[in-house]
Structure 1
Amino acid sequence: MSRITNSFGPTTTALEVVQGVDLTGRRAVVTGAASGIGVETARALAHAGAQVTLAVRDTAAGDRVAADIASTSGCDDVAVAHLDLADLATVDAFTAAWQGPLHVLVGNAGVMDTPHGTTVQGFETQLGVNHLGHFALATGLHGALAAAGDARIVQVSSSGHAASPVVFDDLFFERREYSPGLAYGQSKTANVLFAVEATRRWAEDRVTANALMPGGIWTPLQRHWSPEQRAAAEQQAAHAEAAGVFRMKTTEQGAATSVFLAAHPQVAGIGGRYFEDCQEAEVVPQLRGLSGVLPHALDPVAARRLWDVSEELLVQARAAA
């Protein structure tokens, strides 16, 4: 199984990825598309002709983004729907309302380094939003994805996956001290494991799933950092850029890998992998800066276990509602 490479790179933009790609007739959902790289992901898909639904918490913000995308892409087939991944009731309402096939599902929304908290159903916030909310969304839309005949799921993960595997005996930090970084890392590992198992489990439906690291981008994702954390991160990034080992991305560049996985013909039929800079990442024992993917994120045994555990958690949460 050869590693996927191409001429794209860290400075490639989302619109450059879809040059020459025709998505006419294909339907896409992008979560968290009211800000950050979600906006540029949705814009590029619409620019290529896809019918795009912005699945967002703030529908007023979504409406503004939809109008902007329509004016810049020439595609006015952009819908807005309410979705709060911290509340399964809204996820279930979204999936119940969906009609017809779905060709592309981009799990872009997420939270990072939040203070300790829980979702409406009582899940630790970061695992609940980043993984379980998206898991409920994807499984709820499975019929629509299968109906497409060649659907793609794209899950935005992070180099943060290196901070922690999925800790099955204490998923919600009930027996260990809560750490925002470890909770985030666990949730981002879960994103990759979901892609691994969804590709295996839904192979007969020709549904593939991949995960990705978008790169270093200043977006609202960092809103839970203290001013000191933000200043330290900016200084570290500046030093790395000056040394020529790293460069922060624009939102247009940060969306490129999501769009590559959602739309580019090179990854048709490919699933269960982790990408960065529009390339498949190398499996490494330790990250090189932000590059590479650790083996625990691609472990098929952990992926199957996480799927089963996630299904059971959703069953319990819905029964308690």
Structure 2
Amino acid sequence: MIVTPFGFDATALDVVDGLDLAGRRAVVTGAASGIGVETARALVAAGADVVLAVRDLDAGSRVAANIAATTHRPAPAVAALELTDLDSVRAFAVSWAGPLHILVNNAGVMAAPETRTARGAELQFATNHLGHFALALWLHPALAAAGDARIVAVSSTGHQVSPVIFDDLHFRFRPYDPWLAYGQSKTANILFAVEATRRWAADGIVANALMPGAIYTNLQRHTGGRGSGRVPPELIKSAEQGAATSLLLAARPELAGVGGRYFYDGAEQETLDARSGSLGGVARYALDAQNAKRLWEVSEQLVEP
């Protein structure tokens, strides 16, 4: 089990303190708000060349200007990315030139009302998993060209609410439940990290998943701004703290070559056979190699033109 000094109180800037990421190129999805902003800020502060992949270009441009002002570094680039639109995802990937060292799959939606994409996918599964899966898949040549690329999948302790239900991914038979849909999508994020590492480690690419903590951001727009309401106030983090584990996985030398694992508060988490009742731990089904392989194969079919 990997444990680092970067626990609950650590911020993203604490994690990159002393690191030099000059020459490393990074993409952060959902970087126009919440922990995505602080993830991008810390990467820029450490010298990385960062692209903010966002739905709202105006919001992204405002964030880029703020990051430049606070880090005294050149502003990160801003590019359009709508994860529920696979044409948008493909356009982003096709437009990329050269190596990509860091891909932070950060964007997400939580507990949304029942909604389907134009292709019929359930919204949370489409946003949190399928769009990011397609992005990584189509950026594989750029990640491989880096030689030592890292993919960071922002998951959640919400994965403990549901495994991936392969026979009904899109709630066509089950009554829709926003939390079950969220939990399934967050399990998918972890399974992606497991299988991406298995398939791509030989290309120098590793992927890990993480729970950022309980942070009140735009992610809670469907839940009255307060998430599930079950997290004690003393466990609520700032956005700067919430981005810390993302930076650990994206940038720290201690994590070089490490993949297929799940982290929270700067530490790899124990495997669980029942819900933990806390924010820590990872369900055994979320690390299962057969589940990971099956999800990859299903996802490939779902993102085909």
TM-score range, shorter chain: over 0.9
Out of 238, 251, 255, the residue aligned to residue 263 of structure 1 is 251
In 1, Cα distance between the equivalents of 2:209 and 2:224? Answer: 28
Is the Cα–Cα contact under 8 Å of residues 67 and 75 in structure 2 kept in the other structure?
Answer: no
SS in 2 for 1:202: helix
RMSD of aligned residue pairs (Cα, Å)? 1.2
SS in 2 for 1:197: helix
Aligned residue number for residue 225 of structure 1: 223
Out of 62, 72, 96, the residue aligned to residue 98 of structure 1 is 96
Out of 164, 176, 199, the residue aligned to residue 197 of structure 2 is 199
SS in 2 for 1:67: helix
1:158-191 CA-partner distances (Å, limit 9, x unpaired): 0000010000000000011011000000000000
SS in 2 for 1:166: coil
* Letter paired with 1:193: L
Out of 165, 169, 172, the residue aligned to residue 170 of structure 2 is 172
SS in 1 for 2:209: strand
Where do 5+ consecutive residues of structure 2 fail to align?
none
After superposition, residues 211-222 of structure 1 pair within 5 angstroms as: 211-222=209-220
In 1, Cα distance between the equivalents of 2:75 and 2:69? Answer: 11
Aligned residue number for residue 83 of structure 1: 81
TM-score relative to the length of structure 2: 0.97
Give, in angstroms, the shift of residue 204 of structure 1: 1.2
After superposition, residues 7-86 of structure 1 pair within 5 angstroms as: 7-86=5-84
**Identity percentage over the alignment?**
62
1:279-299 CA-partner distances (Å, limit 9, x unpaired): 111112222411111101100
Where do 5+ consecutive residues of structure 1 fail to align?
none
In 1, Cα distance between the equivalents of 2:129 and 2:227? Answer: 29
SS in 2 for 1:5: coil
SS in 1 for 2:280: coil
* Letter paired with 1:295: R
* Letter paired with 2:280: S
* Letter paired with 2:65: A
In 2, Cα distance between the equivalents of 1:47 and 1:232? Answer: 33
Is the Cα–Cα contact under 8 Å of residues 194 and 260 in structure 2 kept in the other structure?
Answer: yes
SS in 2 for 1:55: strand
Out of 231, 236, 244, the residue aligned to residue 248 of structure 1 is 236
2:289 is the alignment partner of 1:300: yes
Give, in angstroms, the shift of residue 41 of structure 1: 0.2
- Count of aligned residue pairs for this structure pair: 304
SS in 2 for 1:28: strand
Aligned residue number for residue 268 of structure 2: 280
* Letter paired with 2:282: V
1:144-171 CA-partner distances (Å, limit 9, x unpaired): 0000000000000000000100000000
Give, in angstroms, the shift of residue 8 of structure 1: 1.4
Give, in angstroms, the shift of residue 99 of structure 1: 0.3
Deviates more, 1:265-274 or 1:113-122: 113-122
In 2, Cα distance between the equivalents of 1:57 and 1:124? Answer: 19
Give, in angstroms, the shift of residue 86 of structure 1: 0.9
Give, in angstroms, the shift of residue 226 of structure 1: 4.3
Is the Cα–Cα contact under 8 Å of residues 88 and 121 in structure 1 kept in the other structure?
Answer: no
In 1, Cα distance between the equivalents of 2:224 and 2:210? Answer: 26
TM-score relative to the length of structure 1: 0.93
Is the Cα–Cα contact under 8 Å of residues 216 and 227 in structure 2 kept in the other structure?
Answer: no
In 2, Cα distance between the equivalents of 1:254 and 1:232? Answer: 17
SS in 1 for 2:193: helix
